[in-house]
Amino acid sequence: MKILVTGAAGYIGSHVAERLKSLGNNVVGLDNFSDYYDVSLKKLNAKGLEEKGIRIEKIDLRYSEELQNLPADFNYIFHFAAQPGISAASSFEDYLGNNVIGTKNLLDFALKNKKLALFVNIGTSSIYGINAAFDESVPPTPVSHYGVTKLAAEQLVLESSRLGDIKACSLRLYSVYGPRERPEKLYTKLIANAFKNIPFPLYKGSENHLRSFTYVQDIVDGVVSVIGLEDIVNNEIINLGTEEENTTQHGIEIVEQILNKKIDLQIVEARSGDQLRTKAVIDKARKLLDYNPKTSLYEGLKVQVEWYQNNFL
């Protein structure tokens, strides 16, 4: 099968592209190589994918004309490309352009693919709001521009499936960690600061935040499992994460245990829009996808520490 992965040079997208290729598919990746974080990290991911036979195209989905020369012969589209996070450095226009306009342009391209079996939108638990501990039937109440625009993108995708234009679903991911995690995210930054012996900036009160920290390969298992189930997942929203909850403080302590060192914490002002709790309710994923995340936080963080050591020390 021929599969398109957007945001393929990014964190989770690169892992999914790699898995799809390992399953014998012809995988093409798109990425705009945004400078939201160090572009060299995306280039490192892209190089690794290209060495495995995955072609990476530099395309910015905000501009529909950049998709015009892309062959419209894909069987599946996995849409990871987005403006991520709740950084003050990102404007509302950044979120609107990348998350909403980009998704609409990709949907217009998807309609040209006559052999398309399924469009898979990658959503986020941020859609739920401050507390993300619900099943998929609960009305969303996002509290960040990221959450609001990701909800809008999700609804654009599901609109197309409701109208019968394409088959589509949306997978809402929960607190994904592991190798290739973005440098500003909790664990990569925590590990990096520990090795560099510099204080880690901890948002005030966040040590008590509860998270469904989910190992990236468990997420990949769930994402790729939709292949062949398009009639079952069409027009569905499905949570993907782990039911296990851990506080941020406990995660910090696990990293300290793995590294056998105490990490200096510097308390900084809390961020607006940060979630207090995420707990993945995955009954639907278990039923429809036979989804079963199994990696413990300790096991996953041990792999992430090893990845950092192998690539950055």
Q: DSSP states of 199-259 as a string?
A: -EEEETTGGG-EE--EEHHHHHHHHHTTTT-HHHHTT-EEEES-S--EEHHHHHHHHHHHH
Name the DSSP letter for residue 78. E
Give 3-state DSSP helix, strand, coil % of the chain, rounded to 5.
40, 20, 40
Q: Is the pLDDT of residue 89 over 80?
A: no
As a whole number, the mean pLDDT across the chain is 96
Q: Is residue 146 annotated as part of the catalytic site, yes or no?
A: yes
Indicate the domain borders of the chain.
2-174+215-241+280-294
Q: Report pLDDT for 159.
A: 98
Q: Tokens standing for 62?
A: 């905000």
Confidence tier at 80 by pLDDT (50, 70, 90): very high
Mean pLDDT for the stretch of residues 32-58: 95
Residue 275 reports pLDDT greater than 90: no
pLDDT band of 90, cuts 50, 70, 90: confident
Q: Supply the pLDDT for residue 129.
A: 95
Place of tokens 């401050």: 130
Q: Is the pLDDT of residue 32 over 80?
A: yes
Q: Which two tokens stand for residue 1?
A: 């099968």
Instruction: Indicate which residue of 36, 95, 128, 146 is catalytic.
Output: 146
Q: What percent of the chain has pLDDT over 70?
A: 100
295-300: average pLDDT? 98
- pLDDT interval class at 88 (50, 70, 90): confident
Q: Note the pLDDT tens digit of each residue in 155-214.
A: 999 999 999 999 999 999 999 999 999 999 999 999 999 999 999 998 888 898 999 999
Residue 271 has pLDDT above 80, yes or no: no
- Give every strand in the sheet of 26-31, ordered side by side: 55-58, 26-31, 2-6, 76-79, 118-124, 168-173, 237-240
> Domain 2-174+215-241+280-294 classified CATH 3.40.50.360?
no
